[in-house]
Chains A and B, each alone.
Chain A
Amino acid sequence: MPFREAMEAKYRDILAKYIEEQKESTLYLAQKFSRKSIENQVTPEEIISLHKMILQEMYPEMPTYVTHSFDLLLEIMLGYGFAYREHQSLRHQQKELRSEIEIAANVQHTLLDTEIPVVEGLDIGAISVPARLMNGDYYNFVQDENQCISIAIADVIGKGIPAALCMSMIKYAMDSLPEHRNEPSILLENLNHIVEQNVDPSMFVTMFHGIYNYEQHLFSYASAGHEPGFFYDGKKKEFTEITARGLMLGIDKKTKYTQYEKKIEPGDMIILLSDGVTECRTSEGFVEKDTLLTYIDKYLHLSAQEIVNRIYKDLEQIQNFQLRDDFTLIILKRSV
């Protein structure tokens, strides 16, 4: 039996039953009926029209004022019917958008994917988790034939889809500047031009770029307004903030960047992060720098990847598992 006919018969049954005897169990049947009709996209005015028709069949003597009153009710419910159909169509569109964003997030993941280089004497760990579906943070490793590893960590100001799209552009811009890979300050200068010219004027990028020479264990770096990371001195067992001044990318075309160098000794560590790490908020306030360093200190004996994973888990937990911002943490550890 087609659905509409079955529905009519069912409704006739329920209505007759209820008029005869006002039982709770019949009301329950009515509830079930309404769920089923919503599922099958039956509109409110269709139900009223059905109700009117069945009443007329059951009671041919029904007073005309009752029939008229149903006509009025029908008219009123038409508006509700429209609203309902609009709601249905929005829900449908929302589903479509969501699945498109999910696909975009996957594409982004593939585009921005980077492999952590494996080098003897150096232990590298990295984690990047978006607060929403798409990530506005980015990190990238490139190993070259000159015993150097290029490390970039960046954050687009802004969140969500626009930030993520912007990041994909930065990655391709970086890939197209291979000749400058060994000079972080020059790489930032070039990227600054690209961001300044091509990205929306209200969108800005912070980036830290470093080159680790694993033959000499020399780390050269420059920062474009990026959240400062830390050096860990394995001998003194001390953390110091990496101070590197420089303006964010995309603000001033003429910006120059200062390049710094640091010798990395056995047991030393380089910790790079995004502001999603330092801007962690709990009910008691911000996660202070010292708290973060105590966490790192606690896991020092583990591998770099283990350390970043554990810190993420800990900070996620104290924030009640709700990231406010994209979270990226990278650790490079020179083996003893």
Chain B
Amino acid sequence: MNIKIDLFENDRVIEVFVHGEIDAYTAPELRDILFPLSKKDEVQMVVDLTNVNYMDSTGLGVFVGIFKNIRAQSGELRLMGLSDRLKRLFEITGLADIMDINSPIEGEVE
């Protein structure tokens, strides 16, 4: 049960790489790091979840919170690299319809 969060900040562009599991124990750490960033004006946040092998609904709550903050500040949030299991979590909850999940990167060949 551990998590590693790497952050690359360049003006309004914020890239986040998460490794490990996001659950009730690790979600507070993720929240503490991402929440203040999500409240800035017009941020473009990309969260790479390729190396996240497990996430429960607590993790989902963190992303919804960030999403609401970013949307309120006219920014953008994109989640990428989600495994099928993670993607299912966003689909069931209806979040995949309102959030940018696993969309292909501009210029990338599908």
Give the docked Cα–Cα distance between A206 and B65 (Å): 15
B98 touches A247 (CB 8 A): yes
B58 touches A248 (CB 8 A): no
B57 touches A155 (CB 8 A): yes
A225 touches B94 (CB 8 A): yes
B24 within 8 A of A: yes
B105 within 8 A of A: no
* Cβ contacts A to B, 25 pairs, < 8 Å: A157-B57, A157-B60, A157-B64, A158-B57, A158-B58, A159-B24, A159-B58, A201-B65, A202-B31, A202-B62, A225-B92, A225-B94, A226-B92, A228-B92, A245-B94, A247-B94, A248-B93, A248-B94, A248-B95, A251-B68, A251-B95, A275-B57, A286-B85, A324-B56, A325-B57
Q: Which residues of B contact A279 (CB under 8 A)?
A: 56
Give the docked Cα–Cα distance between A202 and B94 (Å): 16
A224 within 8 A of B: yes
| A274 nearest in chain B by CB position | B57
B98 touches A252 (CB 8 A): yes
A204 touches B68 (CB 8 A): no
The 5 closest A-B pairs by CB, nearest first: A247-B94, A225-B93, A157-B61, A225-B94, A202-B65
Instruction: Please provide the chain B residues from 39 to 97 with a CB less than 8 Å away from any CB of chain A in the complex.
Output: 56-58, 60-62, 64-65, 68, 85, 92-95, 97
Give the docked Cα–Cα distance between A246 and B97 (Å): 9
Give the docked Cα–Cα distance between A226 and B65 (Å): 18
Q: What total of chain A residues lie within 8 Å of the partner, measured CB to CB? A: 25
Chain B interface size, under 10 / 10 to 19 / 20 to 34 / 35 or more = 10 to 19
11 new A-B contacts at CB < 8 Å, known A224-B94, A251-B95, A275-B57? A159-B24, A202-B64, A202-B65, A203-B61, A225-B94, A228-B92, A246-B94, A248-B93, A251-B98, A324-B23, A325-B57
Given known A157-B61, A158-B61, A325-B56, contact A201–B97 (CB-CB < 8 A): no
Residues of A within 8 A of B (CB): 155, 157-159, 201-204, 206, 224-228, 245-248, 251-252, 275, 279, 286, 324-325
| A248 nearest in chain B by CB position | B93
A204 touches B56 (CB 8 A): no
Q: Which residues of A contact B62 (CB under 8 A)?
A: 202
A251 touches B64 (CB 8 A): yes
Listed residue (B23, B24, B92, B97) with the most chain A CB atoms within 10 angstroms of its CB: B92
Given known A159-B24, A251-B98, contact A204–B92 (CB-CB < 8 A): no
Q: Which of A203, A206, A324 contacts B93 (CB 8 A)?
A: A206
Min C-beta distance of A131 to chain B, whole Å: 9
Give the docked Cα–Cα distance between A202 and B65 (Å): 5
Give the docked Cα–Cα distance between A203 and B62 (Å): 9
Give the docked Cα–Cα distance between A247 and B68 (Å): 14
Give the docked Cα–Cα distance between A30 and B97 (Å): 70
Give the docked Cα–Cα distance between A157 and B95 (Å): 13
| A155 nearest in chain B by CB position | B57
Give the docked Cα–Cα distance between A266 and B24 (Å): 42
Give the docked Cα–Cα distance between A204 and B24 (Å): 15
Min C-beta distance of A244 to chain B, whole Å: 10
Q: Which residues of B contact A228 (CB under 8 A)?
A: 92
